[in-house]
Amino acid sequence: MKRIWNYKFSVMIAIVCIWASAAFGAVIEGVEFNKKLATKEATLNLRGTGLLKYMVFIKAYVGALYLPQNVPSAEVLSDVPKHLVLEYFHPIEGHKFGPATIAALEKNLDTETLDELMPRIDYHNSLYVDVQPGDRYSLTYLPGQGTTLRLNGVERGTIEGADFAAAIFSIWLGAKPMDTKFKRSLLGM
């Protein structure tokens, strides 16, 4: 009788796991990310998720990258729709995002490009506010519309230009990302 109950319990757990995997694309560090993101313009599929740590062992945030299904990872910074969402494990003051953004962009952009983009970067950085554990910032780029920054799904602002999108996404996905392991995880590599 005990074996039958164990078998039934195992089957129930398997069914719950299958149902959960159908509803969510991934769970990392207890944070759930959907399989797809649908906009009026495009359906984006979960490409990958990752955990970013600093000082080797401190978990900063988890992230998920969404791209159209047919876009190769090598073209992630091209003029294609994309969505990156980051969920934070620690509070961060809003004014700290700007300097971190500029430092990361300096690694991926030449001086001329950075200077040209600086008015839009400054505007982008002005949109940040404090975050608490569990908060999510997201960036969504749609060709012809721009890059929209959202906090917990609420729009903070949109910045025009494919050049800006390529620059801002390069922080995580460029030639010199914040963390190579995190980049590879987001790209599903």
Residues 6+ apart with CB under 8 A from 102: 121, 125
Which pLDDT score, from 0 to 100, does residue 11 have?
A: 35
Confidence of residue 37 (pLDDT cuts 50, 70, 90): confident
Confidence of residue 12 (pLDDT cuts 50, 70, 90): very low
Share of the chain above pLDDT 90, in %: 74
Q: How far apart are CA 51 and CA 159, in angstroms?
A: 27
Confidence of residue 24 (pLDDT cuts 50, 70, 90): low
Confidence of residue 15 (pLDDT cuts 50, 70, 90): very low
Residues 6+ apart with CB under 8 A from 145: 41, 158, 160
Which pLDDT score, from 0 to 100, does residue 17 have?
A: 41
Q: What angle do CA 95, 99, 103 make, to 5 degrees?
A: 160
Range scoring the smallest mean pLDDT among 23-32, 85-94, 105-114, 130-139: 23-32
Q: What angle do CA 120, 122, 124 make, to 5 degrees?
A: 70
What count of other Cβ atoms lies within 10 Å of the Cβ of residue 30? Answer: 7
pTM for the whole thing?
0.84
Q: Can you state the angle between helices 162-173 and 111-126, rounded to 10 degrees?
A: 90
Q: Which domains does the chain have, with CATH numbers?
A: 28-186 (3.50.70.10)
